[in-house]
Structure 1
Amino acid sequence: MESLVQWEYQGRAPIGGVLLVTPMHLLVFVTVADKKNFSRAAEALSLTQPAISQQIHSLEEYYGSKLFERTSKRVELTRSGETLLPYAKRILELSAAAKGAVDDLSGRVTGRMTIGATLTIGEYILPQLLAEYTKLYPEVEVEMMIANTEEIGEMALDHRLDAALVEGRFAHKTLTLTPFLEDEMLLIAPGDHPLAAKGSITVADLARESFVLREAGSGTRVVAEEVLRSLGVQPTKMYAFGSTQAIKEAVEAGMGLTILSKWCIRKEESFGTLKRLLVPGFTFSRPLWVMERPGQFQTRAVAEFTSLVHSYAYPTA
């Protein structure tokens, strides 16, 4: 598909007087539907806005129906556009699968792969995996999408991802979750917090503390709430942030305590700006998951990535 993205279509492609619909037309259509904006779609595909408009015009001419309602601020799918969208996504998926199957015959691992990951995995674990993967398969072009578990699940359902790694459970009958790594959740305080000076603390020590947590829809937020319930702690105040880095900055600034993966605070622990709090007899871990669609065709590039995820020797955090 990468060669198609680099080709800027300037007109119609008639053969024997018949206008043909190419994968590029459909890729443009799906991207505009996703971005709801011609300029953002052009930027995402490295095309000009006139080229995007021409592709959509050609599709509308081919199907004999208007696909988008355009306003000054955004574009919305018409009923015809909504009908076409799932077919267009399926055709693009089959086109990529066909290319992958032909590449597999040659023994080469090539192509393009889009990986979705939740924040903790995407920011602290996946970079190590991808460094190893790209050494093994340098011809594969990798794009990474980072969002919370709920958003990654929706992307997987929408056929926008080739592989997905998530922290939380996303219940849907067409998706499966397979654990690939056990993660320890830590109770964390600023380095200069009075509780940080203690060798261990009690649940009573947490009674008057505020907590800084991830936003709703995050797998880390769900687990953090489970930790608080299991401790019997009701925070005096709770703040929500959509970024792990923002949470760490807020905790370092004294806004409260937090509950994060052990992978997130290695640097801060080494500098002493964040410290883990120990409650005797209490530990909390969670699995990290590979999210998959059973029956979905996998190129060799995707299959090798999934295999690496399950076999990789993750460093001790």
Structure 2
Amino acid sequence: MFLRNAEIFCDVALRRSFSKAAAARGMSQPAISQAIQQLEEHLGVTLIDRSQRPLQLTPSGEAYFEGCRKLFDDYRSLEDRVQNLSSKVTGRVRVASIYSVGLLQMVGYVARFEERYPDVVLQLDYLHPDEVYDRLVNDEADVGLVSFPKDGGEIECIPWIDQVMGVVVPPGHRLASLTEAPLTELDGEDFVAFTQDLRIRKETDRMLRKHKVSVSAVHHFDNVENIKRAVEIGAGISILPLPTVRREVDAGLLKAVPLAGLKWHRPLGIVKRRHKHLSTAAARFVDLLHEPSGTDDPWTKLVPATRAKAD
């Protein structure tokens, strides 16, 4: 009973909320509160300061939380080693990805992984970047796929792919006939931008300022797909990772114009919780992502990485 209560406590500690932990576990809030109370009575200490909002852990609670996380990670590592004594890779891999690492890009990886490891369940969810990191910290995902990845604190990054950034315009635009364009050609253009909370927007703004280019941001979206649709209908031009517009370029819906004299890439990384055990199945998925895709794409460069260890 107390092991189960310790798991419930970890959920409350991660979310700093009884109600959010109850929703995540499919339990009632009174049942969550009762489990924490039983645990505190068993230990003889107060784990949570309930007088503050959001809830805060007491010093005893912080120590117990860190110990429990390590205990559960070690237990999952033990389960993984025992299950794989048979040499058959099994289990589940939970992947949280940003939208722009889209289905078209991932479908080949998913098909190869499922063919190679038929006894592994692969769960792939597309989310806002902040939600990807939240999933990792809350232990609701094994690995995340993000752009401009963080590497520090609780998060560890494994390099993955560099994607060439370029100008994206509708076919009738004045830049559409160019094989490449200097960034200064964008000065004064109506621009379809990412929302300001995204790292790719900050990097784009920094690059435009550096080259003294001023654009008129007429629309803002938090994902590549909406930006592409806006450019298609002539709402403005944009700067995007060129691999994300491959389908539209091939269909004649958009034109991709590389930037002249400018080496500018969007880095994609594989992120995980630092010191968290990576299961054999998850490590094999990371390994597969670093295999050549078999397509000749001048806009994508695979970044070598140390083989993912399954602890």
Assess same fold via TM > 0.5: yes
**Aligned residue identity for 1:67:** I
**Aligned residue identity for 1:77:** Q
**Aligned residue identity for 1:252:** E
Check the 8 A contact 2:182/2:261 in 1, yes or no.
no
Does the alignment pair 1:166 with 2:149?
A: no
Write the mapping of 1:7-26 to structure 2, written as runs, cut at 5 A: 13=1, 21-22=2-3, 24-26=4-6
Q: Once the two structures are superposed, what CA deviation does each residue of 1:157-202 show, in whole Å capped at 9, x if it has no partner? A: 6766433333214242776544333322221123444433556545
**Aligned residue identity for 1:237:** A
Partner of 1:6: none
**Aligned residue identity for 2:55:** E
Report the 3-state secondary structure (helix = DSSP H, G, I; strand = E; otherwise coil) of the residue aligned with 2:175.
helix
TM-fit CA distance, 1:54: 4.5
Does the alignment pair 1:252 with 2:252?
A: no
Report the 3-state secondary structure (helix = DSSP H, G, I; strand = E; otherwise coil) of the residue aligned with 1:237.
strand
TM-fit CA distance, 1:307: 1.5
Partner of 1:308: 288
Partner of 1:95: 75
Across the aligned residues of Structure 1 and Structure 2, the Cα RMSD in angstroms comes to: 3.7
Check the 8 A contact 1:60/1:66 in 2, yes or no.
yes
Provide the TM-score with structure 2 as the length reference.
0.74
Partner of 2:309: none
Equivalent-residue separation in structure 2 for 1:50 and 1:112 (angstroms): 31
Check the 8 A contact 1:149/1:219 in 2, yes or no.
no
Partner of 1:112: 92
Change in CA separation of 1:311 and 1:215 when aligned onto 2, cut-off 3 Å: same
Partner of 1:58: 38
Check the 8 A contact 1:192/1:273 in 2, yes or no.
no
Change in CA separation of 1:312 and 1:55 when aligned onto 2, cut-off 3 Å: farther
Does the alignment pair 1:186 with 2:127?
A: no
The counterpart of 2:268, out of the listed 267, 288, 296, is 288
Check the 8 A contact 1:210/1:257 in 2, yes or no.
yes
TM-fit CA distance, 1:266: 2.8
Partner of 1:7: none
Change in CA separation of 1:315 and 1:230 when aligned onto 2, cut-off 3 Å: farther
> Identity of aligned pairs, percent?
26
Does the alignment pair 1:276 with 2:256?
A: yes
Report the 3-state secondary structure (helix = DSSP H, G, I; strand = E; otherwise coil) of the residue aligned with 1:265.
helix
Equivalent-residue separation in structure 2 for 1:191 and 1:33 (angstroms): 52
Write the mapping of 1:72-91 to structure 2, written as runs, cut at 5 A: 76-79=55-58, 80-91=60-71
Partner of 1:264: 244
Does the alignment pair 1:220 with 2:189?
A: no
Equivalent-residue separation in structure 1 for 2:41 and 2:106 (angstroms): 43
Change in CA separation of 1:187 and 1:26 when aligned onto 2, cut-off 3 Å: farther
Report the 3-state secondary structure (helix = DSSP H, G, I; strand = E; otherwise coil) of the residue aligned with 1:272.
coil
TM-fit CA distance, 1:94: 1.5
The counterpart of 1:210, out of the listed 170, 176, 190, is 190
Check the 8 A contact 1:149/1:168 in 2, yes or no.
no
Equivalent-residue separation in structure 1 for 2:292 and 2:275 (angstroms): 24
**Aligned residue identity for 1:131:** A
Equivalent-residue separation in structure 2 for 1:217 and 1:34 (angstroms): 23
Check the 8 A contact 1:176/1:291 in 2, yes or no.
yes
TM-fit CA distance, 1:102: 0.9
TM-fit CA distance, 1:99: 0.7
Change in CA separation of 1:261 and 1:82 when aligned onto 2, cut-off 3 Å: same
Count of residue pairs brought into register by the alignment: 295
Provide the TM-score with structure 1 as the length reference.
0.73
Report the 3-state secondary structure (helix = DSSP H, G, I; strand = E; otherwise coil) of the residue aligned with 1:306.
helix
Further displaced range: 173-182 or 239-248: 173-182
Partner of 1:297: 277
Report the 3-state secondary structure (helix = DSSP H, G, I; strand = E; otherwise coil) of the residue aligned with 1:120.
coil
Q: Once the two structures are superposed, what CA deviation does each residue of 1:113-160 show, in whole Å capped at 9, x if it has no partner? A: 333434423555344323321222233233445556676557656766
Equivalent-residue separation in structure 1 for 2:97 and 2:26 (angstroms): 24
Equivalent-residue separation in structure 2 for 1:233 and 1:273 (angstroms): 26
